[in-house]
């Protein structure tokens, strides 16, 4: 995320119309994202940001209204996977190899959670990702993630 905004545009993704198609295809292919209400926010050459508006089905602690850490994990897994897609510039099959999520604090009930991830290193077979979740202030994150994806489609 360090060089996110300044990063150079590239390949197919600099055309807004094609980007939107890319995103629509990505999101509509993922029923679990729809179940959680996860949607697209923005992306760059090697990063992606998704959002998960507060919703009743996300709640893990009914007394406080705090949402489940598992929902945040899903959001970050998806944002990380999406950052791999945009870094490749195409929909290449890939699979999460591992993902670690540190839960820094509970998400504030009622707030939309944003998940932002970057693919900071890509090799022929493995993509390395990191990211944060926040609920309005990126300087005050909810979660920090690091993980790897296998690029299963590469020959």
Partner 1 sequence: MSGGGGAMPPYAQMLGLVREGRRLSMPFGPHLIGSPGRLHGGSVAGLMEIAANLAVREAVRDAGDDADAMLKPVNVTVDYLREGAMEDTHAEAFIMRVGRRVANVRVEAWQGDRGRLIAAARLNLLIVRDSAEPQPPPAARSR
Least distance between partner 1 and beta carbon 79 (Å): 11
Q: How far apart are CA 141 and CA 135, in angstroms?
A: 7
Angle subtended at Cα 26 by Cα 11 and Cα 24, rounded to the nearest 5 degrees: 85
Least distance between partner 1 and beta carbon 8 (Å): 28
Hey, which residues does 132 pair with through a beta bridge? 116, 144
| Residues engaged in binding partner 1 (CB under 8 A) | 29-36, 56-64, 67-71, 73-75, 77-78, 93, 95-103, 105-106, 108, 140
Q: How far apart are CA 78 and CA 51, in angstroms?
A: 10
Least distance between partner 1 and beta carbon 139 (Å): 10
Least distance between partner 1 and beta carbon 150 (Å): 9
**Cβ distance to partner 1 smaller for residue 10 or 105:** 105
Residue corresponding to tokens 């510039």: 89
Pick the closest to residue 125 from 82, 100, 92, 101 (CA basis): 92
**Cβ distance to partner 1 smaller for residue 22 or 73:** 73
């Amino acid at each position: 995320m360090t060089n996110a905004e300044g990063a150079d545009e590239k390949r197919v993704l600099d055309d807004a119309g094609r980007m939107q198609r890319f995103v629509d295809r990505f999101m509509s292919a993922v029923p679990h994202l729809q179940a959680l209400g996860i949607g697209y926010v923005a992306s760059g050459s090697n990063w992606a940001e998704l959002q998960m508006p507060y919703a009743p089905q996300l709640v893990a602690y009914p007394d406080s209204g705090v949402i489940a850490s598992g929902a945040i994990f899903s959001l970050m897994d998806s944002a990380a996977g999406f950052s791999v897609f945009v870094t490749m510039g195409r929909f290449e099959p890939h699979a999460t190899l591992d993902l670690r999520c540190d839960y820094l604090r509970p998400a504030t009930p009622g707030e939309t959670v944003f998940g932002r991830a970057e693919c900071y290193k890509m090799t022929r077979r493995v993509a390395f990702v990191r990211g944060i979740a926040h609920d309005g202030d990126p300087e005050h994150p909810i979660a920090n993630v690091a993980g790897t994806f296998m690029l299963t489609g590469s020959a």
